[in-house]
Amino acid sequence: MTSSKFPENFLWGGAIAANQAEGAYLAGNKGLTLVDLLPTGEKRRSIMKGNVPALTPLEGEFYPSHEAIDFYHHYKEDIALFAEMGFKVLRVSISWARIYPTGEDAVPNVAGLKFYDDLFDELLKYNIQPVVTLAHFDVPVALIQKYGSWRSRKMVELFEIYSKTVLERYKDKVKYWMTFNEINMLLHLPFLGAGLVFQEGDNVKQIQYQAAHHQLVASALAVKACHELIPDAQIGCMLAAGSFYPYTCNPEDVFQGMEKDRESYFFIDVQSRGEYPGYAKRFFRDQGLSIEMEPDDAGILKSHTVDYIGFSYYSSRTTSTDPEVQKNMTSGNVFGSIANPYLAKSEWGWTIDPKGMRITANQLHDRYQKPLFVVENGFGAHDEVTPEGEINDDYRINYLKRHIAEMSEAIQDGVEILGYTSWGPIDIVSASSGEMRKRYGYIYVDRDNEGQGTMKRIPKKSFGWYKKAIQSNGSDL
């Protein structure tokens, strides 16, 4: 392998989300969001799919996002550590319910606006550019109660108001924006991705694709608003990426791999190319789905496409049409993946495939011919603190190193990549499991699965490693 090369001005940094880091879930008049209803363990998994028992937190349950790592109160200390590592960017999300606690308040919440002003100012003090996601898994609960969340067209209008509010407010501070985090998650974890709750007898696919249409129009309207309000900003989409490999060269497997990729590409085709692809129209016909669209929608989608393709990459996926092979599914992949016999897995069953980063980046580039932004990548692992108080996370360094090297290969293949924000540069709550034990950080946080701990921050071994990687612009991994 040739040595790593990155363009000058490559945006090195990390990515977190409001709902997994901030905590302070009721502070400053914040309203409840869907993550405030997610406990840990099995129950969480079932709720994330849309089986939601109650739309209020239950007495006696532990909700990890309520306090998370209390970034709301610790952000200065945390940003100082990110600055020490040399971050050029930090990806964060704005919690809609901090700005509009019920999602449709007459005026935005002053305390919420101020929190993000202070946060962005603190970042800019260190020359760290904020990269801001408008929606990262946190629909206000009041909108789920009143409208059924993204099933309703009403959400498009309310999201537009919210987007315009924050774009206008932070236009001098934020130049990189993103609309919906992992928009394709709506198909796999519909409650987490879009606040969708299902009742018996619901036509789940119909509801999902109608909600998807609403998010796609809302995304295009946010792009429009961003271009109008902040002409020197860039706004992108965000895909949970990772290509599907056919298990064999049987054309049936190959075709299935293509179709599975298209389940995800569908969203980005609309956001980046501005229209529904033919295969999606066929899918709707074949499935008997009828998506309600307003007369202006096609024009909105066509005129307001994204500037870059943001994506998360953790692992590749594998698919087969053979029922025998299908018995060997990986436990940790919400996309439904067969175990790949060539690849190892993390403790959570996530396949480790650095080469897949290069493959995925090339495929996205070939398809869209727009700059890419790797806005999530990382290794969730259980870390041990030694009696000396050290965390020697060589496994994490090893994972990141190999992925960054493959990203460099992709760049040398001609793929334009704006930057790399690894996931969870400081330990935060895991989205899929709700655990604190599944850690991604360069910075350890003393907090456990039950919410106990001092919240103390401790740099891990990977802290120094990432600092060096950034300092050398990726050439010293």
Q: How many CB atoms lie within 10 A of CB 452?
A: 9
Per rule CB under 6 A, count of chain residues that contact ligand BGP:
14
Subset of residues 217 to 246 that bind ligand BGP, contact rule: CB under 6 A: 240
SS3 252: helix
Catalytic residue among 122, 376, 406, 409: 376
Smallest gap from Cβ 336 to ligand BGP, in A, equals 15
Q: Which of 63, 72, 176, 423 binds ligand BGP (CB under 6 A)?
A: 423
Cα(98)–Cα(113) distance, integer angstroms = 8
122 part of the active site: no
Burial class (CB in 10 A: 0-12, 13-18, 19+), 334: middle
431 scored as a contact of ligand BGP (CB under 6 A): yes
190 scored as a contact of ligand BGP (CB under 6 A): no
Written as six digits, the tokens of 377 are 């990548």
Looking at beta carbons only, is 136 or 370 nearer to ligand BGP? Answer: 136
112 scored as a contact of ligand BGP (CB under 6 A): no
Q: How many CB atoms lie within 10 A of CB 65?
A: 26
Residue type, 243: S
Subset of residues 57 to 76 that bind ligand BGP, contact rule: CB under 6 A: none
Q: What x-and-dash track marks residues 321-360 binding ligand BGP by CB under 6 A? A: ----------------------------------------
Looking at beta carbons only, is 358 or 438 nearer to ligand BGP? Answer: 438
Cα(330)–Cα(327) distance, integer angstroms = 9
439 scored as a contact of ligand BGP (CB under 6 A): no
17 scored as a contact of ligand BGP (CB under 6 A): yes
SS3 178: strand
Q: Which of 65, 129, 430, 449 binds ligand BGP (CB under 6 A)?
A: 430
Q: Which of 182, 269, 297, 307 binds ligand BGP (CB under 6 A)?
A: 182
DSSP string, 48-69: HTT--S-SSPPTT---GGGTTT
Smallest gap from Cβ 310 to ligand BGP, in A, equals 11
Smallest gap from Cβ 43 to ligand BGP, in A, equals 15
Written as six digits, the tokens of 38 are 């997610």
Cα(129)–Cα(372) distance, integer angstroms = 17
Strand pairing class (11-15; 417-423): parallel
Stretch that binds ligand BGP, among 61-69, 145-153, 414-422, 424-432 (CB under 6 A): 424-432
Q: What x-and-dash track marks residues 302-321 binding ligand BGP by CB under 6 A? A: ----------x---------
Q: Which of 304, 401, 438, 457 binds ligand BGP (CB under 6 A)?
A: 438
Q: Which of 33, 149, 181, 340 binds ligand BGP (CB under 6 A)?
A: 181
Residue with nearest beta carbon to ligand BGP: 432
Cα(266)–Cα(291) distance, integer angstroms = 14
Residue 377: partners with Cβ closer than 8 Å, 6 or more residues away: 312, 313, 314, 357, 400, 403, 420, 422, 423
Subset of residues 349 to 408 that bind ligand BGP, contact rule: CB under 6 A: 376, 380
Looking at beta carbons only, is 270 or 431 nearer to ligand BGP? Answer: 431
Residue 330: partners with Cβ closer than 8 Å, 6 or more residues away: 337, 338, 339, 345, 349, 350, 351
In 62-189, which residue ranges form alpha helices assigned H by DSSP? 71-85, 96-99, 110-125, 141-147, 154-169, 185-188
447 scored as a contact of ligand BGP (CB under 6 A): no
- HSE value, Cβ hemisphere, 13 Å, CA-based, for 21: 27
Looking at beta carbons only, is 92 or 477 nearer to ligand BGP? Answer: 92
Smallest gap from Cβ 127 to ligand BGP, in A, equals 26
Cβ atoms 243, 315 nearer than 8 A: no
419 scored as a contact of ligand BGP (CB under 6 A): no
Cβ atoms 383, 392 nearer than 8 A: no
184 scored as a contact of ligand BGP (CB under 6 A): no
In the complex, the residues that contact ligand BGP under the rule CB under 6 A are 17, 20, 181-182, 240, 312, 376, 380, 423, 430-433, 438
What positions carry a catalytic annotation? Answer: 376
